[in-house]
Amino acid sequence: MGKINVLSFDVANLIAAGEVVERPSSVLKELIENSIDAGATEVVAEIKRGGVALIRVSDNGCGMDKEDLPVALQRHATSKIHGKEDLSSIMTLGFRGEALAAISSVSEVTIITKTKEAESASMLTSEGGHVIDITEVGAADGTTVVVENLFYNVPARRKFLKKDATEAMNVAALVERVALSRPDISIQLLIDGEEKFKTPGDGDLLHTISAVLGRDFAKKTLHIDGEANGIRVTGYIGTSENVRKNRNLENFFINGRYVKSLTAAAALEKAYTSYIAPECFPACVISLSMSPSSVDVNVHPAKLEVKFSDERPVFEAVYHTVRRTLESAAYRPEMTLGKDALKDTRTVGAFVPLGEKPKGEQITLGATPPPLRENPYRTPPTRPSYDAPVSAPRTVSYAPPTQRAAGHTDIPDRLSVASGAGHTQTPEMTPRESLDLLRAYRDASPAPTPPPVARPTESAPTSAPTPDGQTPATPFTDTSYRYVGEAFDCYLMVEVGDDLLVIDKHAAHERILFEEIKKSHESDGRVASQSLLLPLPVSLTPEELSAATEYQSELLSVGFEYDLDASGVSLTAIPDAIGASDAADLFVSMTAEIAAGRGTPANTEAIRREKALYQIACKAAIKGGRHYERPVIDWLIAKVLSLPDIIVCPHGRPIAYRLSKRELDRRFDRIK
């Protein structure tokens, strides 16, 4: 007897549905695309409980005739193409005639629709793809599709869904991209009854960007418009300050469709070479318009990928348009943006612009908080702005840590360490105390000191007293030393016995702190954190926000406490060792890394934790190129000498280098 069965219609439908409808965001994508294809100028998208309980998309488009309603739910039923010749000239977002069939086969669907000509609206209800009822109802022109109880009949798929908040973030990311693709359509997103954003639909892409990605993002963009090889490239690209640690803000639309295009991304990144740091990625909202015959959109069930008949012209068009814009922007004067033009209606992953009050309880501080940083984009550049190093002002508001005392610049009294040249003993200071001391300096002088040539040298020795005749077994075990001086504000020269020790001060301090933080993590199960007096809002992409939601306990273990509500992330406590803006940076890069590496074998919790610990140590450590007072230097030297087995920093670089007197004597022909 034969073993091959022909599957039933229902089972075949469920299998096909799996390709199109993977999660709530894929349902939203299909429904909004249908609204766009229907010529709508206003679309309202709404979800409840991550989209599992309810998804509703309403539009003011052309609507459907009553007799078309049940047909729309059938597979391969579409009004957008007729024959195979149409496949080479697709200008609509949909064309496969599969979406409503797939969605309705895994949920309960209600469609209310009315054309302009019809006297009343029609309402269809269905369950698992089977039409239950069609009646006449009163409703405005357009279509509303309601999807309830998603995957009620596919328990395996339902189990596979993430937490409601994570699904909601995915929905937000998806709807944001669709909104960016059509500035001529007003798109509103509501999550659990709360408006996340609403685009004006006035046809101005910059206004849409402002509504979706925030006003601050929109301000740090450059308009692009170019044409090459019959391909028009338009949109906005981020300035060199507006960069990310991943590709999440590289948005490409081809003939109005959001796609993941490796060719366009490669061209964009190449064009930014030398304008941004190599480890950063640009941000963009770029639309490519080209003949539909030179791009195949029918290569992916969710239509997220496309195939170009020839990739080279696409690469060139993007590369040259972006590069030209960056080159001419380097001399462009300040960009002026009208206040009302950039109305920020966004509340998800929201950036709280500098100068606006952060959310949460407002506490009046006795001491005046540090002044808010000016928007650097508004400062006229004294040289081409793209030559400037990417010292990237973060998209965070600043709230000072509780124990940060304004004006605390003095070195604590108890640190009475012998200054000037001469033998010095280990000062009594723990790594923790050294951090407090450093923090005081950091607060007092946040900017690096000028180059060393301009700075008078401190207490250089006039004579070189010989050590007490003892020869240490290794240069790292003797705590008795003479500080000779510092080269290039980076390398400490220390005479120890018969050796000259050259210490990389940043690498050494980083390693010491790393050991300390690791030890405290091992004993307490978490990194010590400091509470913030005011919550510190941090701007995250929806993907990063979903990582922050899912990995909250992991992030807590490295010192971050934060409130996650519908309006975004606010840090309430940060790792003890670092300042607020470093902490915000670290938080963004950690969530970005989690989001980018989810599920990859090399991205385990242990690896992420280790990396976080050395990033904390790196940010907290004293910096090369910056001047520090003697007590800090003395503490560091003594610490290095007392730790004989530490020879490399957490990145694997050496922390100290030894040159013996004998070797020097030999080089100067004093001895043979």
Rule CB under 6 A: which residues touch ligand ATP?
30, 34-35, 38, 59, 61-64, 72, 77-80, 94-101, 143
Burial of 336 (0-12, 13-18, 19+ CB in 10 A): exposed
- Smallest distance from the beta carbon of 617 to ligand ATP, in angstroms? 51
- Smallest distance from the beta carbon of 648 to Mg ion, in angstroms? 58
For residues 310 and 324, is the Cβ–Cβ distance under 8 A? no
Phi, psi of 665 (to 5 degrees): -55, -40
For residues 654 and 648, is the Cβ–Cβ distance under 8 A? yes
Q: Which residue is nearest to ligand ATP (CB)?
A: 94
- Smallest distance from the beta carbon of 68 to ligand ATP, in angstroms? 7
- Smallest distance from the beta carbon of 319 to Mg ion, in angstroms? 33
d(CA 407, CA 483) in angstroms, rounded, equals 29
Residue 347's contacts (CB-CB under 8 Å, 6 or more residues apart) are: 194, 195, 196, 197, 566, 567, 568
Our CB check for ligand ATP shows the closer of 104 and 170 to be 104
d(CA 373, CA 407) in angstroms, rounded, equals 18
Residue 96 interaction partner, one of Mg ion, ligand ATP, none, beta carbon < 5-8 Å per kind: ligand ATP
| Helices (H), ranges, 502-622 | 505-524, 542-550, 552-557, 580-597, 605-620
Q: How far is CA 580 from CA 2, 48, 131, 518, 574, in A?
A: 70, 35, 57, 21, 7
Instruction: Count interface residues toward Mg ion (CB under 5 A).
Output: 3
Tell me how crowded residue 585 is: count the other CB atoms within 10 A of its CB. Answer: 19
- Smallest distance from the beta carbon of 235 to ligand ATP, in angstroms? 25
For residues 109 and 151, is the Cβ–Cβ distance under 8 A? no
For residues 614 and 650, is the Cβ–Cβ distance under 8 A? yes
- Smallest distance from the beta carbon of 64 to ligand ATP, in angstroms? 5
- Smallest distance from the beta carbon of 30 to Mg ion, in angstroms? 5
User: CA nearest 350: which of 570, 568, 589?
Assistant: 568
Contacting residue, 51, 94, 128, 238, with Mg ion by CB under 5 A: 94
Our CB check for Mg ion shows the closer of 89 and 409 to be 89
Residue 164 interaction partner, one of ligand ATP, Mg ion, none, beta carbon < 5-8 Å per kind: none
Residue 64 interaction partner, one of ligand ATP, Mg ion, none, beta carbon < 5-8 Å per kind: ligand ATP
Helices 630-642 and 431-444, axial angle in degrees (round to 10): 150
Burial of 393 (0-12, 13-18, 19+ CB in 10 A): middle
Q: Which amino acid is residue 544, in one-letter code? A: E
Q: Under DSSP, is residue 157 helix (H, G, I), strand (E, B) or coil?
A: helix
Q: How far is CA 303 from CA 19, 213, 247, 440, in A?
A: 11, 24, 20, 55
Our CB check for Mg ion shows the closer of 32 and 500 to be 32
Which range binds Mg ion by CB under 5 A, 32-40, 210-218, 232-240, 646-654? Answer: 32-40
Our CB check for Mg ion shows the closer of 57 and 267 to be 57
Binding of Mg ion at residue 210 (CB under 5 A)?
A: no
Contacting residue, 21, 99, 326, 342, with Mg ion by CB under 5 A: 99
- Smallest distance from the beta carbon of 164 to ligand ATP, in angstroms? 25
For residues 178 and 258, is the Cβ–Cβ distance under 8 A? yes
- Smallest distance from the beta carbon of 38 to Mg ion, in angstroms? 10
- Smallest distance from the beta carbon of 194 to ligand ATP, in angstroms? 24
Which range binds Mg ion by CB under 5 A, 31-39, 227-235, 295-303, 487-495? Answer: 31-39
For residues 578 and 438, is the Cβ–Cβ distance under 8 A? no
Our CB check for ligand ATP shows the closer of 34 and 210 to be 34
Our CB check for ligand ATP shows the closer of 29 and 506 to be 29
Q: Which of residues 322-361 bind Mg ion (CB under 5 A)?
A: none
Our CB check for Mg ion shows the closer of 166 and 255 to be 255
Which range binds Mg ion by CB under 5 A, 30-38, 328-336, 510-518, 554-562? Answer: 30-38
- Between β-strands 284-289 and 250-254, what pairing exists: parallel, antiparallel or unpaired? parallel
- Smallest distance from the beta carbon of 94 to Mg ion, in angstroms? 3
Residue 199 interaction partner, one of ligand ATP, Mg ion, none, beta carbon < 5-8 Å per kind: none
Cα 554–chain centre separation: 18
- Between β-strands 307-308 and 250-254, what pairing exists: parallel, antiparallel or unpaired? unpaired
Our CB check for Mg ion shows the closer of 30 and 495 to be 30
For residues 235 and 250, is the Cβ–Cβ distance under 8 A? no
Our CB check for ligand ATP shows the closer of 26 and 424 to be 26
Contacting residue, 13, 25, 26, 34, with Mg ion by CB under 5 A: 34
Our CB check for ligand ATP shows the closer of 32 and 558 to be 32
Which range binds Mg ion by CB under 5 A, 94-102, 295-303, 356-364, 595-603? Answer: 94-102
Residue 167 interaction partner, one of Mg ion, ligand ATP, none, beta carbon < 5-8 Å per kind: none
- Smallest distance from the beta carbon of 102 to ligand ATP, in angstroms? 8
Q: How far is CA 45 from CA 48, 100, 176, 194, in A?
A: 11, 16, 11, 11
Q: What does the binding site for Mg ion look like in residue numbers (CB under 5 A)?
A: 34, 94, 99
